[in-house]
Amino acid sequence: MRLWRSMAALLAAAMLAAAGPAPAQDSLSADNGVAAKVNGEAISTYDLVQRMRLLVLLSGLKPDEQTVGWLQRFALTGLINDRLKTQEFARFRPLSELDGDIDDQIRAMGRGDPARVLGPLGQDGVQADSLRAYLRGQIAWANLARGRLGGRVQIGEAQAAQAAATLNDPATAKVRLTGLFLSDLSTGDRASGLAMAAQLAAQIRAGASLEGLGGAFSDMSPYTAGPDGRWMTIDSLDPEVAAAIAAAPLGALGEPIETREGVLLLVVLERYEPGGGTPPNVTAETMAGLLKEDRLASLAGRYLRDLKSSAEISP
């Protein structure tokens, strides 16, 4: 899945560039108590702090008193979601089947040498097992999505060709967007998502990398397609998104936008108005891939919500 691949690439780049402890990590410490239980399986406070450290390393986030609170909630929600994902995977296949994929991913991150990844991790206080647990959740979910949901996503040639023709139509207004999406599933609740969005926006405006923060914290969304962005017709935008970006200056991060499923932070990279400039030229093949990813992400989100609603999670 697109987001998992981009997160892995950003994690590799961050670790290969690491030169010492991440900022303010001394405050990210805990004993080995129980942070939560998922269907009877414990997530320790040690696991929680390790995930927080990994997110800091991946994103380039600079933790402070304002960010540590939501970072902890986000990390714990992610650990709970990952436990649900691996438990679901284990219903169909042994988790040990993922070990080779995890090894391959770490080797790829280190450009053939795992030590180039594991060494900087240790310097930043992140144990190898914590990275492996993180990757296990991502890979298990990607396999589940492809295996159990992929067959339900069928994008016909005519559908893709029509969507591409609509997007490329010189008579249609459109925008090229990028950004990040904080889903309620990942943040835990809307209030946490809004607080998190405000803090991330402040760090981005202060010079933090949108791509780095997005790689660590963003969920998949049609609006968040990586640094190059994605063209979308104005008519296809959700009303709240269209209203928010109507007068947004190019290249500037907008204010948080609430949607039905979470909070968006968007940047308008480019606009096209009929009669001005050159319209995009997106192929039907590319459009088919985008539509399939959109549909698969939607189904995967519903799948996770169902798992969560039927699980026993405490506290």
128/167 same-domain check: no
CA distance 284 to 165: 8
Q: Beginning with the edge strand found earlier in the chain, give each strand of the sheet holding 41-44 in spatial order.
A: 41-44, 34-38, 313-314
257/131 same-domain check: no
Say if residues 4 and 226 touch (Cβ distance below 8 Å).
no
Segments of 13-157 assigned E as strands = 34-38, 41-44
Maximum C-alpha span of the chain: 63
pLDDT of residue 29: 57
CA distance 169 to 120: 48
**pTM of the model as a whole:** 0.86
Residue 306 lies in a domain: no
Residue 197 lies in a domain: yes
Identity at 178, one-letter amino acid code? T
Residue 302 lies in a domain: no
Residue 309 lies in a domain: no
35/144 same-domain check: yes
Q: Residue 115: name the closest of 2, 16, 251 by CA.
A: 16
Looking up tokens 């899945």 gives 1
Q: Which residues, given as ranges, of the chain have pLDDT below 50?
A: 1-7, 15-26
Q: Considering only CA atoms, give the Rg of the chain.
A: 20
pLDDT of residue 12: 54
Residue 315 lies in a domain: no
123/239 same-domain check: no
pLDDT of residue 11: 55
What SS3 class is residue 269?
strand
- We report the CATH number of the domain holding residue 180 as 3.10.50.40
Supply the range of the domain harboring residue 142: 2-152
pLDDT of residue 277: 83
CA distance 208 to 39: 37
